[in-house]
Amino acid sequence: MTVTSSSRTIGPFSVSPIGLGCMNLSHAYLPRPEPDQAERLLRHALDQGVDFFDTAALYGFGANEELLGRTIMDSRDKFVLASKCVLGGKDGQRGLDGSPEAIAATLENSLRRLNVEYIDLYYLHRLDPNVPIEESVGALTRAVEAGKIGAIGLSEMSAATLRRAHAVHPIAAMQTEYSPWTRNAEVAVLDACVELGVAFVAFSPVARGVLAGGVGPEGVPKGDIRGAMPRFQSPHFERNLELATQFKAIADQAGCTMAQLSIGWLLSRRPNIVVIPGTTSIAHLDENMATLTLELSAEVLAAVDALFTFQAVSGPRYPKSAQAQIDTETWPGEPLE
Protein backbone atom coordinates (compact mmCIF):
# COMPACT_ATOMS: atom_id res chain seq x y z
CA MET A 1 0.00 0.00 0.00
CA THR A 2 1.00 3.63 -0.44
CA VAL A 3 0.40 5.94 2.49
CA THR A 4 -1.66 8.52 0.68
CA SER A 5 -1.05 12.23 1.13
CA SER A 6 -4.71 12.97 0.55
CA SER A 7 -6.44 14.80 3.35
CA ARG A 8 -8.44 13.32 6.21
CA THR A 9 -11.43 14.77 8.01
CA ILE A 10 -11.75 16.07 11.56
CA GLY A 11 -15.27 17.36 12.03
CA PRO A 12 -15.69 20.22 9.54
CA PHE A 13 -11.95 20.40 8.85
CA SER A 14 -9.78 18.76 6.24
CA VAL A 15 -6.18 18.09 7.26
CA SER A 16 -3.08 16.20 6.20
CA PRO A 17 -2.86 12.70 7.70
CA ILE A 18 0.23 13.85 9.61
CA GLY A 19 0.04 16.84 11.94
CA LEU A 20 2.39 18.10 14.63
CA GLY A 21 2.13 17.42 18.33
CA CYS A 22 3.73 20.42 20.01
CA MET A 23 4.01 19.17 23.60
CA ASN A 24 7.71 18.33 23.67
CA LEU A 25 8.67 21.82 22.54
CA SER A 26 7.77 23.00 26.05
CA HIS A 27 6.88 20.08 28.29
CA ALA A 28 7.51 16.56 29.56
CA TYR A 29 10.43 15.36 27.40
CA LEU A 30 14.08 16.36 27.75
CA PRO A 31 16.16 18.03 26.50
CA ARG A 32 13.85 20.87 25.50
CA PRO A 33 14.76 23.14 22.61
CA GLU A 34 15.72 26.76 23.02
CA PRO A 35 12.87 29.14 22.09
CA ASP A 36 14.43 30.14 18.77
CA GLN A 37 14.90 26.48 17.81
CA ALA A 38 11.27 25.73 18.65
CA GLU A 39 10.11 28.71 16.63
CA ARG A 40 12.18 27.63 13.61
CA LEU A 41 10.68 24.15 13.78
CA LEU A 42 7.12 25.49 13.86
CA ARG A 43 7.71 27.75 10.87
CA HIS A 44 9.42 24.94 8.98
CA ALA A 45 6.45 22.69 9.67
CA LEU A 46 4.18 25.24 8.02
CA ASP A 47 6.51 25.42 5.04
CA GLN A 48 6.42 21.63 4.73
CA GLY A 49 2.64 21.56 4.58
CA VAL A 50 1.77 20.67 8.16
CA ASP A 51 -1.76 22.01 8.59
CA PHE A 52 -2.76 20.62 12.00
CA PHE A 53 -1.03 21.82 15.19
CA ASP A 54 -1.87 20.33 18.58
CA THR A 55 -1.20 22.01 21.93
CA ALA A 56 -2.83 22.16 25.38
CA ALA A 57 -3.16 24.39 28.39
CA LEU A 58 -1.11 21.84 30.35
CA TYR A 59 1.96 21.93 28.13
CA GLY A 60 4.55 24.05 29.86
CA PHE A 61 1.64 25.28 32.00
CA GLY A 62 0.71 27.72 29.24
CA ALA A 63 4.14 28.20 27.69
CA ASN A 64 3.39 25.97 24.70
CA GLU A 65 0.28 27.93 23.77
CA GLU A 66 2.27 31.15 24.12
CA LEU A 67 4.96 29.72 21.83
CA LEU A 68 2.43 29.02 19.09
CA GLY A 69 0.74 32.35 19.72
CA ARG A 70 3.86 34.39 19.00
CA THR A 71 5.24 32.19 16.22
CA ILE A 72 2.68 31.01 13.66
CA MET A 73 -0.53 32.95 14.17
CA ASP A 74 0.41 35.28 11.33
CA SER A 75 -0.38 32.25 9.12
CA ARG A 76 -3.60 31.39 10.95
CA ASP A 77 -5.52 30.67 7.73
CA LYS A 78 -3.10 27.87 6.78
CA PHE A 79 -3.75 25.38 9.58
CA VAL A 80 -6.22 23.82 11.98
CA LEU A 81 -5.47 24.71 15.60
CA ALA A 82 -6.24 22.34 18.48
CA SER A 83 -5.85 22.84 22.20
CA LYS A 84 -7.18 21.23 25.38
CA CYS A 85 -8.65 21.93 28.82
CA VAL A 86 -9.54 20.10 32.08
CA LEU A 87 -6.04 18.69 32.68
CA GLY A 88 -4.05 21.65 33.92
CA GLY A 89 -1.49 22.79 36.39
CA LYS A 90 -1.39 24.69 39.65
CA ASP A 91 1.89 25.44 41.40
CA GLY A 92 3.64 23.13 38.94
CA GLN A 93 1.40 20.13 39.67
CA ARG A 94 -1.06 18.34 37.39
CA GLY A 95 -4.72 18.39 38.29
CA LEU A 96 -8.18 17.76 36.83
CA ASP A 97 -11.07 20.19 36.79
CA GLY A 98 -13.86 19.46 34.34
CA SER A 99 -16.36 21.86 35.85
CA PRO A 100 -18.03 24.26 33.43
CA GLU A 101 -16.55 27.22 35.31
CA ALA A 102 -12.99 25.90 35.04
CA ILE A 103 -13.44 24.99 31.38
CA ALA A 104 -14.69 28.49 30.55
CA ALA A 105 -11.78 30.08 32.41
CA THR A 106 -9.19 27.81 30.79
CA LEU A 107 -10.59 28.56 27.35
CA GLU A 108 -10.30 32.29 27.90
CA ASN A 109 -6.69 31.87 28.98
CA SER A 110 -5.96 29.66 25.96
CA LEU A 111 -7.40 32.24 23.59
CA ARG A 112 -5.26 34.93 25.18
CA ARG A 113 -2.05 32.90 25.13
CA LEU A 114 -2.61 31.72 21.57
CA ASN A 115 -3.37 35.27 20.46
CA VAL A 116 -6.59 34.22 18.72
CA GLU A 117 -10.31 34.73 19.11
CA TYR A 118 -11.23 31.24 17.93
CA ILE A 119 -9.79 27.72 18.36
CA ASP A 120 -10.76 25.20 15.70
CA LEU A 121 -10.77 22.07 17.87
CA TYR A 122 -10.90 22.13 21.67
CA TYR A 123 -10.53 18.90 23.63
CA LEU A 124 -11.45 17.75 27.08
CA HIS A 125 -7.91 16.58 27.84
CA ARG A 126 -9.08 13.99 30.40
CA LEU A 127 -12.29 12.85 32.05
CA ASP A 128 -12.81 14.42 35.44
CA PRO A 129 -14.49 11.62 37.42
CA ASN A 130 -16.08 14.16 39.72
CA VAL A 131 -17.98 15.91 36.92
CA PRO A 132 -20.48 14.19 34.60
CA ILE A 133 -19.16 14.21 31.05
CA GLU A 134 -22.44 15.77 29.97
CA GLU A 135 -21.69 18.88 32.04
CA SER A 136 -18.18 19.24 30.64
CA VAL A 137 -19.37 18.80 27.06
CA GLY A 138 -22.18 21.24 27.78
CA ALA A 139 -19.63 23.90 28.65
CA LEU A 140 -17.87 23.38 25.31
CA THR A 141 -21.21 23.37 23.50
CA ARG A 142 -21.80 26.87 24.82
CA ALA A 143 -18.32 27.84 23.62
CA VAL A 144 -19.22 26.59 20.14
CA GLU A 145 -22.43 28.63 20.24
CA ALA A 146 -20.45 31.69 21.35
CA GLY A 147 -18.09 31.32 18.37
CA LYS A 148 -15.01 30.68 20.52
CA ILE A 149 -14.35 27.12 19.31
CA GLY A 150 -15.30 25.27 16.15
CA ALA A 151 -15.48 21.64 17.24
CA ILE A 152 -15.25 19.50 20.37
CA GLY A 153 -12.80 16.68 21.04
CA LEU A 154 -12.08 14.17 23.78
CA SER A 155 -8.74 12.72 24.87
CA GLU A 156 -7.91 9.37 26.52
CA MET A 157 -11.55 8.39 26.98
CA SER A 158 -13.50 5.19 26.42
CA ALA A 159 -16.10 4.23 23.86
CA ALA A 160 -18.80 4.45 26.53
CA THR A 161 -17.79 7.99 27.48
CA LEU A 162 -17.60 8.96 23.82
CA ARG A 163 -21.17 7.82 23.29
CA ARG A 164 -22.40 9.81 26.28
CA ALA A 165 -20.55 12.92 25.11
CA HIS A 166 -21.71 12.54 21.51
CA ALA A 167 -25.33 12.47 22.71
CA VAL A 168 -24.87 16.01 24.05
CA HIS A 169 -22.98 17.46 21.07
CA PRO A 170 -21.28 15.89 18.04
CA ILE A 171 -17.70 14.97 18.92
CA ALA A 172 -15.24 15.69 16.13
CA ALA A 173 -12.17 13.84 17.40
CA MET A 174 -10.93 11.34 19.95
CA GLN A 175 -7.24 11.73 20.78
CA THR A 176 -5.54 8.77 22.41
CA GLU A 177 -2.10 7.18 22.52
CA TYR A 178 -1.81 4.70 19.66
CA SER A 179 1.21 3.00 18.14
CA PRO A 180 2.28 -0.57 17.47
CA TRP A 181 3.23 -0.90 21.15
CA THR A 182 0.09 0.79 22.56
CA ARG A 183 -3.00 -0.69 20.93
CA ASN A 184 -5.67 -0.12 23.59
CA ALA A 185 -7.72 1.87 21.10
CA GLU A 186 -8.39 -1.38 19.25
CA VAL A 187 -10.40 -2.73 22.20
CA ALA A 188 -13.46 -0.57 21.50
CA VAL A 189 -12.98 3.14 20.90
CA LEU A 190 -11.68 2.88 17.32
CA ASP A 191 -14.83 1.04 16.28
CA ALA A 192 -16.99 3.57 18.14
CA CYS A 193 -15.26 6.41 16.31
CA VAL A 194 -16.00 4.82 12.93
CA GLU A 195 -19.61 4.21 13.92
CA LEU A 196 -20.15 7.81 15.05
CA GLY A 197 -18.10 9.52 12.34
CA VAL A 198 -15.43 10.70 14.78
CA ALA A 199 -11.81 11.21 13.73
CA PHE A 200 -9.18 9.38 15.73
CA VAL A 201 -6.06 11.44 16.49
CA ALA A 202 -3.13 9.25 17.50
CA PHE A 203 -0.59 10.80 19.85
CA SER A 204 2.80 9.22 20.61
CA PRO A 205 2.65 7.34 17.28
CA VAL A 206 6.34 6.36 17.55
CA ALA A 207 5.99 5.00 21.09
CA ARG A 208 7.43 8.06 22.83
CA GLY A 209 10.57 7.82 20.69
CA VAL A 210 11.29 4.11 21.16
CA LEU A 211 9.96 3.17 17.71
CA ALA A 212 11.88 6.03 16.12
CA GLY A 213 15.23 4.85 17.44
CA GLY A 214 15.35 7.88 19.71
CA VAL A 215 15.78 6.01 23.00
CA GLY A 216 18.81 3.79 23.53
CA PRO A 217 20.05 1.54 26.35
CA GLU A 218 20.98 4.59 28.41
CA GLY A 219 17.29 5.45 28.73
CA VAL A 220 15.96 8.99 29.00
CA PRO A 221 17.44 12.04 30.75
CA LYS A 222 16.81 12.51 34.45
CA GLY A 223 13.63 14.52 34.91
CA ASP A 224 12.09 13.35 31.62
CA ILE A 225 8.47 12.29 32.20
CA ARG A 226 9.11 8.97 30.48
CA GLY A 227 11.44 7.96 33.28
CA ALA A 228 8.40 7.54 35.55
CA MET A 229 6.64 5.26 33.06
CA PRO A 230 7.05 1.54 33.82
CA ARG A 231 7.86 0.67 30.21
CA PHE A 232 11.00 2.81 30.54
CA GLN A 233 12.08 1.15 33.80
CA SER A 234 13.91 -2.13 34.42
CA PRO A 235 13.20 -4.93 33.76
CA HIS A 236 10.56 -3.78 31.26
CA PHE A 237 12.79 -1.33 29.43
CA GLU A 238 15.38 -3.89 28.38
CA ARG A 239 12.69 -6.21 27.03
CA ASN A 240 11.07 -3.40 25.10
CA LEU A 241 14.38 -2.37 23.54
CA GLU A 242 14.65 -5.92 22.20
CA LEU A 243 11.29 -5.40 20.49
CA ALA A 244 12.54 -2.10 19.06
CA THR A 245 15.57 -3.89 17.62
CA GLN A 246 13.29 -6.39 15.89
CA PHE A 247 11.09 -3.54 14.67
CA LYS A 248 14.15 -1.84 13.16
CA ALA A 249 14.93 -5.00 11.23
CA ILE A 250 11.45 -4.88 9.67
CA ALA A 251 11.92 -1.19 8.78
CA ASP A 252 15.33 -1.88 7.27
CA GLN A 253 13.88 -4.64 5.12
CA ALA A 254 11.07 -2.32 4.03
CA GLY A 255 13.56 0.41 3.09
CA CYS A 256 12.25 3.01 5.50
CA THR A 257 13.04 4.42 8.93
CA MET A 258 11.54 3.13 12.14
CA ALA A 259 9.46 6.27 12.57
CA GLN A 260 8.11 6.00 9.04
CA LEU A 261 7.14 2.38 9.57
CA SER A 262 5.32 3.18 12.80
CA ILE A 263 3.46 6.14 11.30
CA GLY A 264 2.71 4.28 8.08
CA TRP A 265 1.39 1.28 9.99
CA LEU A 266 -0.96 3.56 11.93
CA LEU A 267 -2.28 5.34 8.85
CA SER A 268 -3.00 1.97 7.26
CA ARG A 269 -5.28 0.92 10.12
CA ARG A 270 -8.30 3.15 9.46
CA PRO A 271 -9.06 6.02 7.06
CA ASN A 272 -10.23 8.22 9.96
CA ILE A 273 -6.83 8.19 11.72
CA VAL A 274 -4.63 11.31 11.88
CA VAL A 275 -1.25 11.09 13.59
CA ILE A 276 0.51 13.87 15.48
CA PRO A 277 4.14 12.92 16.06
CA GLY A 278 6.11 15.43 18.08
CA THR A 279 9.72 16.37 17.48
CA THR A 280 12.27 19.06 18.23
CA SER A 281 14.25 18.24 15.07
CA ILE A 282 13.61 19.68 11.62
CA ALA A 283 15.28 16.63 10.07
CA HIS A 284 12.97 14.29 11.95
CA LEU A 285 9.94 16.37 10.99
CA ASP A 286 10.90 16.04 7.32
CA GLU A 287 11.43 12.30 7.81
CA ASN A 288 7.96 11.96 9.32
CA MET A 289 6.29 13.91 6.53
CA ALA A 290 8.03 11.76 3.91
CA THR A 291 5.89 8.87 5.17
CA LEU A 292 3.08 10.30 3.04
CA THR A 293 4.74 8.91 -0.10
CA LEU A 294 5.91 5.67 1.50
CA GLU A 295 4.93 2.29 0.09
CA LEU A 296 4.45 -0.51 2.60
CA SER A 297 3.53 -4.03 1.56
CA ALA A 298 0.85 -6.09 3.25
CA GLU A 299 3.62 -8.44 4.37
CA VAL A 300 5.50 -5.64 6.15
CA LEU A 301 2.35 -4.44 7.91
CA ALA A 302 1.57 -8.01 8.96
CA ALA A 303 5.09 -8.39 10.37
CA VAL A 304 4.50 -5.36 12.61
CA ASP A 305 1.21 -6.87 13.78
CA ALA A 306 2.90 -10.17 14.56
CA LEU A 307 5.71 -8.53 16.51
CA PHE A 308 3.51 -6.31 18.65
CA THR A 309 0.90 -8.65 20.01
CA PHE A 310 -0.78 -7.45 23.18
CA GLN A 311 1.44 -9.63 25.35
CA ALA A 312 4.69 -8.53 23.69
CA VAL A 313 5.25 -5.10 25.26
CA SER A 314 6.44 -5.25 28.85
CA GLY A 315 5.00 -3.09 31.59
CA PRO A 316 2.08 -0.66 32.06
CA ARG A 317 2.10 2.43 29.87
CA TYR A 318 1.47 4.84 32.76
CA PRO A 319 2.43 5.01 36.44
CA LYS A 320 -0.49 4.56 38.82
CA SER A 321 -1.07 8.29 39.33
CA ALA A 322 -1.40 8.97 35.59
CA GLN A 323 -3.36 5.77 34.96
CA ALA A 324 -5.95 7.03 37.44
CA GLN A 325 -6.52 10.09 35.23
CA ILE A 326 -7.44 8.21 32.04
CA ASP A 327 -10.65 6.52 30.96
CA THR A 328 -9.38 4.39 28.09
CA GLU A 329 -10.12 0.70 27.79
CA THR A 330 -7.59 -1.89 28.90
CA TRP A 331 -6.90 -5.31 27.46
CA PRO A 332 -7.91 -8.37 29.51
CA GLY A 333 -4.99 -9.07 31.76
CA GLU A 334 -3.17 -5.83 31.00
CA PRO A 335 -0.78 -4.91 33.81
CA LEU A 336 -1.71 -1.61 35.41
CA GLU A 337 0.94 -1.49 38.14
pLDDT 10s digits, 7-59: 999 999 999 999 999 999 999 999 999 999 999 999 999 999 999 999 999 99
Q: Is residue 16 assigned to a domain?
A: yes
- Each residue of 141-181: pLDDT tens digit? 999 999 999 999 999 999 999 999 999 999 999 999 999 99
Residue 36 lies inside a defined structural domain of this protein: yes
Split at pLDDT 50, 70, 90, the class of 332 is: confident
How much is the CA Rg of the chain, to the nearest whole Å?
19
334 within domain boundaries? no
pTM, rounded to two decimals: 0.97
331 belongs to a structural domain = no
Query: Does residue 330 belong to any structural domain of this protein?
Result: no
Q: What range defines the domain where residue 176 resides?
A: 8-323
Q: What is the pLDDT of residues 56-112, one digit of tens each?
A: 999 999 999 999 999 999 999 999 999 999 998 766 667 899 999 999 999 999 999
Residue 59 known to be catalytic: yes
CA 186 to chain centre: 16
pLDDT for residue 243 is more than 90: yes
Q: Which helix (H) or strand (E) holds 136?
A: helix 133-145
**Mean per-residue pLDDT of the chain:** 95
Domain total of the chain:
1
Distance CA 70, CA 53 (A): 14
Domain contains 23: yes
Q: Which of 59, 122, 123, 318 is catalytic?
A: 59
Examine residue 277 and state whether it is found in any structural domain, yes or no. yes
The residue type found at 4 is T
Please check whether residue 49 lies inside any domain of the structure. Answer: yes
DSSP calls for 161-211: HHHHHHHHS-EEEEEEE-BTTB-GGGTTHHHHHHHHT-EEEEESTTGGGGG
Query: What is the domain-level CATH number for residue 293?
Result: 3.20.20.100
pLDDT in tens, 287-316: 999 999 999 999 999 999 999 998 899 999
